[in-house]
Amino acid sequence: MSDSTNILIAYFNRHIPLNYEEEEAVKALFKERKIRRRHYLLQEGDICINNCFVVEGCFRMFMVDKNGKEHNLQFSTENWWISDLYSLFKREPSRLYIEALENSTVLYTTIDELLQLFEDYPTFSHIFRILTQNALVSQQQRILQYVSSTAEERYLDFAKKRPELFNRISNVQIASYLGVTPEFLSIIRKKIAKS
Amino acid sequence: MSDSTNILIAYFNRHIPLNYEEEEAVKALFKERKIRRRHYLLQEGDICINNCFVVEGCFRMFMVDKNGKEHNLQFSTENWWISDLYSLFKREPSRLYIEALENSTVLYTTIDELLQLFEDYPTFSHIFRILTQNALVSQQQRILQYVSSTAEERYLDFAKKRPELFNRISNVQIASYLGVTPEFLSIIRKKIAKS
DNA sequence: AAATAGCCTTAAGGTAGGTTAAGAGAGCAT
DNA sequence: ATGCTCTCTTAACCTACCTTAAGGCTATTT
């Protein structure tokens, strides 16, 4: 069994302690995959069939709008999940891209294996209901912030909430996540530095 | 047993057929409440302890930003759920308001009763995992749209996706949902009418 | 019937943030 | 070393949307 799988098991145990059988099920089901920097885990038009857990590295999920501009929706680093839930659950082509920002390692299962796991071991159904709830809540917080604050406030908040990410990725990526151009982010940074 | 409860049971049956015991559990657990137009189901600072199903009527969920402006986040009409999931699950004071736009009827349970229901009847845990998934997916779609389209596009999309709501609520409410002022929505409407 | 309140529109002037373009510095490859 | 690519910055001009203010219309209340 790989180190990677132990990391995932430790992750699950932090939510709900797994018994021996459940740990074995994780070891049997999840497969490891390495993705090199600038390579894609998912591209627009693909049907997302894998649910991925980031063991090591960093990904960004983004969409391309009708003018060809990219908009980052989410970053995932160690101990985060990354997949297009819309495509995964609806089994329809994705409108999103998932790109590795660093050389990375993930553990993944197909959606069908995951649903089977939920049936065989209710513990996992329970864990994923909580994970989905948490994701929903944090998305709602993001919408709240989006409608009610300026780019400068979002920038400061991002620096505060995700300091490790903040120092790990480029300002171009941060700007895209905050919904501004890199040029305007530069102006914001100058203004903050002055004050 | 009330008509309201039958509507909720029919709703559940459309997701996963309930057996006799599960139907009885719904009848035992959910309570009815009527809310008059302009009255609040939830106000900022309250801890949201009830999960509500709209039997009849229409609600809006909104936040008030630091400048005192309201931002609509969601409308709920018949056969939708309405609650602040953040406050509900984290048991922390809400930053949101839920207001009845019409005289309305809801069925509700407390979060503790709901969690107990999940333990007693896995069917409901299953249904709510799917509902949470769907909510997550549709929120993600909304974020996608928010970052990638103009106010005019969002307006036309809203008219197309929710035609009944579109004709049921005021433009002031729609503008707040779309993230523009009523004045600017008026300009958009004029422009669309001309073309 | 009058008064009040909410809704919708128009218009003038203002601001946050975008676009385009250009240059300077860092890191990587030949 | 030389070039290449990427990142970050600065600046001039532009646009989508906001603010304020005012007027007319309709619905509700008294």
Whether A155 and A116 map to the same domain: the answer is no
Residue B69's closest chain A neighbor by CA? Answer: A148
Please tell me the predicted confidence (pLDDT) of residue B1.
54
Would you say residue B161 lies in a domain? yes
* For range B147-176, the mean pLDDT: 93
Predicted confidence band of residue A114 (pLDDT cuts 50, 70, 90): very high
Whether A23 and A96 map to the same domain: the answer is yes
* For range B95-100, the mean pLDDT: 95
**Total residue count of chain B as it appears in this document:** 195
Q: Which residues contact A157 (CB under 8 A, 6 or more apart)?
A: A145, A149
Domain termination residue (choose one: A139, A160, A179):
A139
pLDDT digit string, tens, across residues A125-136: 888 888 888 888
pTM confidence score:
0.88
Please tell me the predicted confidence (pLDDT) of residue A146.
84
pLDDT digit string, tens, across residues A45-87: 999 999 999 999 999 999 998 888 999 999 999 999 999 988 9
Q: What's the Å distance between residue B73 CA and nucleotide C4 C1'?
A: 30
Whether A92 and A170 map to the same domain: the answer is no
Please tell me the predicted confidence (pLDDT) of residue A144.
84
Whether A61 and A124 map to the same domain: the answer is yes
Gap between the Cα atoms of B26 and B20, Å rounded? 10
Please tell me the predicted confidence (pLDDT) of residue A168.
93
Q: What's the Å distance between residue B181 CA and nucleotide C1 C1'?
A: 35
Give the rounded distance of the alpha carbon of B60 from its chain centre.
7
Whether A157 and A134 map to the same domain: the answer is no
Domain termination residue (choose one: B94, B126, B158):
B126
Residues A133/A46, Cβ–Cβ less than 8 Å: no
Would you say residue B136 lies in a domain? no
Please tell me the predicted confidence (pLDDT) of residue B104.
94
* For range A144-168, the mean pLDDT: 91
Q: What's the Å distance between residue B141 CA and nucleotide C16 C1'?
A: 25
- CATH classification of the domain holding B91: 2.60.120.10
In the predicted structure, residue B19 carries a pLDDT above the cut 90: yes
Whether B151 and B120 map to the same domain: the answer is no
Does residue A45 or residue B126 have the better pLDDT?
A: A45
Would you say residue B131 lies in a domain? no
Whether B96 and B147 map to the same domain: the answer is no
Chain A positions in Cβ-Cβ contact with residue B146 (cut-off 8 Å): 143, 146
Chain A positions in Cβ-Cβ contact with residue B129 (cut-off 8 Å): 125, 128-129, 132
User: Contact B137/A86, CB-based, under 8 Å?
Assistant: yes
* For range A23-39, the mean pLDDT: 95
Whether B34 and B95 map to the same domain: the answer is yes
* For range A14-22, the mean pLDDT: 95
Would you say residue A113 lies in a domain? yes
Whether B97 and B176 map to the same domain: the answer is no
Residues B179/B146, Cβ–Cβ less than 8 Å: yes
In the predicted structure, residue A182 carries a pLDDT above the cut 90: yes
Q: Report which residue type is found at A186.
A: S
Residue A87's closest chain B neighbor by CA? Answer: B137
Residue A128's closest chain B neighbor by CA? Answer: B129
Assess A95–B contact: CB distance below 8 Å, yes or no.
yes
Tell me whether residue B161 is exposed, middle or buried, using C-beta atoms within 10 angstroms of its C-beta: 0 to 12, 13 to 18, 19 or more. Answer: exposed
- What strand order describes the sheet that includes A40-42? A40-42, A96-100, A59-64, A70-76
pLDDT digit string, tens, across residues B27-76: 999 999 999 999 999 999 999 999 999 999 999 999 998 888 999 999 99
Please tell me the predicted confidence (pLDDT) of residue A1.
54
* For range A83-103, the mean pLDDT: 93
Q: How far is B2 from chain A (nearest CA, A)?
A: 30
Would you say residue A144 lies in a domain? no
Does residue A103 or residue A1 have the better pLDDT?
A: A103
- Which segment of A29-38, A133-142, B14-23, B71-80 scores lowest on mean pLDDT? A133-142
Chain B positions in Cβ-Cβ contact with residue A137 (cut-off 8 Å): 85-86, 89-90
Whether B163 and B107 map to the same domain: the answer is no
Please tell me the predicted confidence (pLDDT) of residue B137.
85
Whether B112 and B150 map to the same domain: the answer is no
Query: For residue B116, what are the CA distances in angstroms to A4, A120, A130, A133, B146?
Result: 35, 21, 15, 17, 37
Whether A48 and A131 map to the same domain: the answer is yes
Predicted confidence band of residue B148 (pLDDT cuts 50, 70, 90): confident
Predicted confidence band of residue B142 (pLDDT cuts 50, 70, 90): confident
Q: Which domain holds residue A29?
A: 3-139
Domain termination residue (choose one: B126, B150, B167):
B126
Number of domains in chain B: 2
* For range B12-26, the mean pLDDT: 95
Q: What's the Å distance between residue B30 CA and nucleotide D19 C1'?
A: 46
